[in-house]
Amino acid sequence: MPSMEPPQTFVSRARIAVQRLLQRMKEAAPTSARDTLVAALCDGLRSIPVPLVGSFLARLVEDSLKPEHDGPDLDDVVRLLEDMQESDSHFIEGFRRLGADVEELQRDLDAIRETQVGAEFRLARTTVEPRWPAFDNRVAALLVNRGGGLVVLDEVHLDVEGWSPLTRVDLSVPAAPLAVIRLKVTLDTGTPTYPLFALNGEAPHQFAQGLGAERLEIDLDSRRNARYRLRLRLAYYDERADRSRELVWPEPGEPPIELDFAWAPGWGRAMDLLETPAVFRDLEDRLTAFATWLEHDGDASALPPGIPEYQARPGVFRDGFLRMIDTQIAGHPQASATLRALVGRLNAAASRHDDRND
């Protein structure tokens, strides 16, 4: 499992937060009015997860706009904030140039932490929902700070502890329209860790004492037909202790989450297949059995595994199933001659089956 990052001082935390804020301001600048940018800058500075630092910088920006101010103007403040991003020492020097007493600020922060109850960051109501292939598989939890102080959730890492190929193909097709997928993480067997906040453009989240909770939902799909063994690592900053920590679920020593991602061509689940010969042998066996079932007017209880009854009976779903076999399975570049020949046999068997049952 990847190691934790080293503890960060209040200077490091503040510098990183200002750096992210300035980047967002630059991206918004071309399409935003000056007043809007200033308001966003002040709000962003106040939300810096270090007591006193953000409020000091926000007040400095607001004062720079007053006609009677005798300090640096707004452009000078922003320019100095940009210069302060080079290193912690640059941040401290810039903070002093803006009029802050850094040593006194550190003493104030120590005093604040001494009055706080320790943070107790927890995952509650953790759930694993195997929903593939109709929807992405989902892992969800409630994030709660049950203690005191401030917790800043910097990143949620999804670690892949192992995987194994799935050669059994999901032969179901939709009985209803597909859901719209808004956020997803796409797994691949070659990637061991996924920084989910970074991949989804998500900023850090703050959890103050007793100020609510947030629901975390992670939807996952896969480029490969595999069973993954997964574990979550939540990298967060404990403001009272002034250090970075990690919350792991399932806990170390507990079995990891296991989620299956079978190839499901009927659901538009395109994949780079693992163990392709075994995948297509499984398809040949089951589709041959299905053709035999149609030819002999089989009973529903004797359907080959993985073929729902609604796809075997005459109607639009069976027609769609046969089209999927033709285009997505037999039409696959690695499909065997046996599979391609099965299309004609299945269509003929289905037609004769319908004639006998009219």
Tell me the pLDDT tens digit for each residue of 245-262.
899 999 999 999 999 999
Spell out the long-range contacts of 85-89 with Cβ–Cβ below 8 A and sequence spacing 24 or more: 85/15, 85/18, 85/19, 85/22, 88/9, 88/11, 88/12, 88/15
- Cα 176 to Cα 173, 285, 316, 317: the distances in Å are 9, 28, 12, 10
Question: pLDDT value at position 119?
Answer: 67
CA distance linking residue 269 with residue 267, whole number of Å? 5
- pTM here? 0.64
Q: What is the domain count for the chain?
A: 3
> Does residue 149 sit within a domain?
yes
Question: pLDDT value at position 115?
Answer: 54
Question: pLDDT value at position 280?
Answer: 92
CA distance linking residue 211 with residue 206, whole number of Å? 10
Residue after which a domain boundary falls, among 114, 143, 161: 114
Residue after which a domain boundary falls, among 234, 266, 298: 266
End-to-end CA distance of the chain: 62
Question: pLDDT value at position 59?
Answer: 77
196: containing domain? 121-266
Residue 289 corresponds to which amino acid? A
Strand-strand pairing, 137-145 and 214-222: antiparallel
Whether 127 contacts 140, CB under 8 Å: yes
Residues of the chain where predicted confidence (pLDDT) is lower than 70: 1-10, 32, 49, 51, 64-74, 109-119, 146-149, 175-183, 208-213, 355-358
State the residue for tokens 């049950």: 146
Question: pLDDT value at position 233?
Answer: 93
Question: pLDDT value at position 165?
Answer: 92
> Does residue 314 sit within a domain?
yes
> Does residue 1 sit within a domain?
no
Question: pLDDT value at position 224?
Answer: 94
